[in-house]
Amino acid sequence: MIISEKELPNECTKVVEAEQDQSHVVINTMDDALPPAYSDHVQHERIASSCSTELRPPSKPTNFLSLILKDKPIRGCYVIDPLIQIPLSLLPPLNAGETIQDRKNLYLRTKDGSINADIWLMGQDNAAPKNGSRTTLSLSSNDGNITAKINTVKVVAPFLLDIYARDGRVTVLLPRSFHGSLLLTSRQSVKLSDDLLQRSTILSTVEHTRRYLVGDISHRMFGGDWNGDELKVVSWDGRIMIRYMDEAEPAKTGFFSQIFSS
């Protein structure tokens, strides 16, 4: 489904100030506050299956959501359930050369503006779907900073998050359940939080691009194309910062950061 600039949804609920009646909830765009930290519910558990069911999305889920603007920022909460079937007649037409497999579960695009997206991925109680497909998310801006916060509910399928910011800074907050590849390109600085660095293995550095694997590489079987979690970020003239959702703001200096993320 596609949303035009004139028909922006009020995607997020935001609780009014504490002195007001807590039953009054308004639908509004996302502010800069983070959703509840994982540490409030799951005490820094590393896998999605341990996520508490108290983590509730702020709005109803959807799928194959496209939001394309020209000269405005994009700010909102987007709840994606990749198992929801949307009739093809209600989806935007594919671009030339695209196939159904190329359609993104979430596509946010603005030409001149920032993006601040609070993304919730819906899963199942016991196990992720075994259809072999990943949830695909794409965020891009030619001139603006991009912040993406990834929340997971229950056990989610692997996801691919692709971010392009030509001239802006990129900040990504990952769930603890993320196990997979980081491909980060910037002519400025690339920084991983100390906690994330301790769980990562650097695989290569070529020109302005670094590749990491998050997780225990010794216990993984590789063959063919990687189909697990993956984060790709390109920010030619902006800094890149990656950390976990439940981490506090990282210190400006740190032993691992000085060695690997300068």
SS3 165: strand
230/6: higher pLDDT: 230
The strand order across the sheet containing 229-235 reads 2-3, 65-69, 106-110, 135-141, 159-165, 229-235, 180-186, 209-214, 200-206
Least confident of 75-84, 113-122, 216-225: 216-225
pLDDT tens digits, residue range 155-172? 999 999 999 999 899 999
Inform me whether the pLDDT recorded for 13 exceeds 70. no
Over residues 131-152, mean pLDDT: 93
Inform me whether the pLDDT recorded for 148 exceeds 90. yes
Between the alpha carbon of residue 112 and those of residues 11, 71, 74, 115, 165, the distances in Å are 21, 5, 10, 10, 10
Inform me whether the pLDDT recorded for 67 exceeds 50. yes
Inform me whether the pLDDT recorded for 3 exceeds 60. no
pLDDT tens digits, residue range 177-197? 999 999 999 999 999 999 999
Percent of all residues in the chain with a pLDDT value above 70, rounded to a whole number? 70
Contact 166, 141 (CB under 8 A): yes
Q: What is the pLDDT of residue 216?
A: 80
Distance (Å, whole) CA 51 – CA 132: 22
DSSP state string for 115-152: EEEEEEEE-BSS----SSPPEEEEEEESSS-EEEEEEE
Q: Return all residues near 227 (Cβ < 8 A) that are at least 6 apart.
A: 132, 134, 158
Percent of all residues in the chain with a pLDDT value above 90, rounded to a whole number? 56
Over residues 24-35, mean pLDDT: 37
Inform me whether the pLDDT recorded for 51 exceeds 70. no
Provide the residue range defining the domain that includes 175: 2-260
pLDDT confidence of 221, banded at 50, 70, 90?
low
The tally of domains found in the chain comes to 1
